Structure 1
Amino acid sequence: MHPPVSPADNAQPEDEGRRQSSADKTLEILVALGELGLKSDDGVRLTDLVEHTGHPRPTVHRLLGELRRFGFATQDEASGRYRLGPKLLVLSAQCLGGLDLRRIAQPFMRELVDDIGFMAHLGIMDKHWIVYIDKVESTQVVRIVSSIGQRREASTTAIGKAILAYSPRQVVDDLIGEGLPLRTPRSIGTAEALFDELKRTRVRGFALDNEECDLGICCVAAPIFDHSGTVIAAISVTMMVSQVAGGDIERIGNTVAATALKISEGLGRMEWTPWAGQG
């Protein structure tokens, strides 16, 4: 004889649907808070979150309260604006701590900084963005501000171009389809120019960002491959344009490329073979 079915049991699929819907909205608000927060140092207004997500104001306010309760968001008492909360830092640290890539790359990054004298970044692709997952500061008097977790448009960065140069054609086409942002007058703005630059990157063995992301700043990057030969990341050095002469770029680029190769070997990449996936 089967036990009687309670009303709560009968309601489970509907309740599950409501919970999923609420979870979706909460995550959308959390992502919006991060994206809008990149554009404002003063925090994000409730009105902006409502407009960005399209959810009713009471819903956004209620779910922000839940995010605050669990430490995923904070609210400034004076301005009423919202920011991402410290709980995300804890989760990010746990996530990054599990990446062998960072553990393997870190000593080589330190050697690179000691050799060249400029700050080094380790970055990966996230859709059409690059994300810094590690960095090593330089001892230069002139310091360039950056942070782990910072995102940049891939087509404007040396790390992005180093990865894109060895990515499947479809990845590059999808990025172009989203539009090529012009962060500075030097940013690449057409598909033809981007493909030409990616081809030059493969020929050189390293990518360049010549004031394409930020005026006055240039970067040199080289790709990192895993044991299967798939590009998974890139390492870069960042410097002020005034700190380098034209002839130094090739020397720096070759040094960065050699460092990237060492990291790839640490990940199981046994040999280098020319890649021609984009023609």
Structure 2
Amino acid sequence: MAESGRARGRPRSFHGASESTLIQSLDRGIEVLKVVSRGNGMSLTEIAEASGHPASTTYRMLTTLQKHGVVEFAESGQLWYIGLAAFRIGSTFLGRTSIVEQSRPIMQEMMTTSGETANLAIVDRNDVIFVSQVETHEPIRAFFRPGTRGPIHASGIGKAMMAYFAADRVAAILRAKLQRFTPNTLTDGRDVIAELQRTRARGWAIDDEERTLGMRCVAAPVFNQFGEAVAGISLSGPSVRVSRGRDEAHGTLVRAAADEVTNAIGGQFPQPAGS
């Protein structure tokens, strides 16, 4: 009797992932793709060293990925970059989550109200990845193109999300050496934890010129249906406009926007600590 409905996602005989079920060349190719995605133009030698594969093998994988548009090669600088096809694949994932779609009008309103650039980002390990932005019309403004990465500890969105991470996840992030970018960057784990506690208490986080001198941002987290912080919204701009004196007003605005996105995607707010 023929099966009804959609085809299965895996064979009947499949009993779970193991080394025997992996296609090794595909596995290595994805490793190379991840290496290229972490750079802003990399040479063959750099990619081979970072991926741990011989240069000849790495080159074959790169040319295969290039055939599908997932990576691109710039003849002028002899460097490899992420290609348009990779962006399209990533955009499909973002569309599935609906956060980008749902947040766009909310970010537009936040930018109009504040006069500052609105950002949406997610976290990948110890990095923040910007996935959407609504730019202000001011001549001096913050700009993060989609896919831009930033250090989680020196980011308003990063700290806004970390404030709601489990203690073991925060501890794992803090075990890595925290790079100092400006005199304001928090690089001591105890200082970061204290700032996360303040962030959770008030509901929004601040990047007080911790990544770039002269630029500040205020951010708040977006929660999924399990009450987990899965994204963050921020407004950012020069410190003369996003000043300390306006933090309370900006924080209230950003938190309201983030909460609106949480509701729009069917998210749930986490229980207060100790409840």
TM-score for the superposition, normalised by structure 2: 0.87
Aligned residue pair count: 257
Contact 2:122 2:230 in 1 (8 A): yes
Identity of aligned residues (%): 30
In 2, Cα distance between the equivalents of 1:263 and 1:207?
17
Alignment of 1:33-112 (within 5 A): 33-37=36-40, 43-112=41-110
In 1, Cα distance between the equivalents of 2:191 and 2:176?
16
Supply the AA of the counterpart residue of 2:157.
I
- Aligned with residue 154 of structure 2, among 156, 169, 172: 156
**SS at structure 1 position matched to 2:194:** helix
* Structure-2 change in CA distance of 1:276 and 1:241 (3 Å): farther
Larger helix proportion of the pair: 1
1:22 aligns with 2:25: yes
**Unpaired segments of 5 or more residues in structure 2?**
1-18
Supply the AA of the counterpart residue of 2:55.
R
Contact 2:216 2:243 in 1 (8 A): no
Q: CA deviation at 1:193?
A: 0.3
- Aligned with residue 184 of structure 1, among 182, 185, 188: 182
- 2:172 is matched with which residue? 174
Q: CA deviation at 1:242?
A: 2.0
In 2, Cα distance between the equivalents of 1:243 and 1:224?
25
CA displacement, residues 110-144 of structure 1 (integer Å, 9 cap, x when unaligned): 11111001011111111111111221111212132
**Unpaired segments of 5 or more residues in structure 1?**
1-15, 38-42
What's the Cα RMSD here? 2.1
**SS at structure 2 position matched to 1:36:** coil
- 1:259 is matched with which residue? 257
**SS at structure 1 position matched to 2:62:** helix
More moved, 80-89 vs 264-273: 264-273
CA displacement, residues 46-91 of structure 1 (integer Å, 9 cap, x when unaligned): 1111221221111111111111111111112233221111111221
In 2, Cα distance between the equivalents of 1:94 and 1:242?
38
Supply the AA of the counterpart residue of 2:252.
N
**SS at structure 1 position matched to 2:56:** helix
In 1, Cα distance between the equivalents of 2:106 and 2:184?
31
More moved, 175-184 vs 159-168: 175-184
In 2, Cα distance between the equivalents of 1:28 and 1:85?
15
- 2:16 is matched with which residue? none
In 2, Cα distance between the equivalents of 1:27 and 1:129?
19
Supply the AA of the counterpart residue of 2:205.
A
- 1:194 is matched with which residue? 192
- 2:116 is matched with which residue? 118
In 1, Cα distance between the equivalents of 2:109 and 2:158?
22
In 2, Cα distance between the equivalents of 1:239 and 1:246?
12
Q: CA deviation at 1:218?
A: 0.6
In 1, Cα distance between the equivalents of 2:96 and 2:269?
26
* Structure-2 change in CA distance of 1:76 and 1:269 (3 Å): closer
- Aligned with residue 135 of structure 1, among 133, 136, 155: 133
- 1:3 is matched with which residue? none
* Structure-2 change in CA distance of 1:87 and 1:270 (3 Å): closer
- 1:274 is matched with which residue? 272
Larger radius of gyration, structure 1 or 2?
A: 1
In 2, Cα distance between the equivalents of 1:176 and 1:262?
30
In 2, Cα distance between the equivalents of 1:262 and 1:163?
16
- Aligned with residue 34 of structure 2, among 31, 35, 43: 31
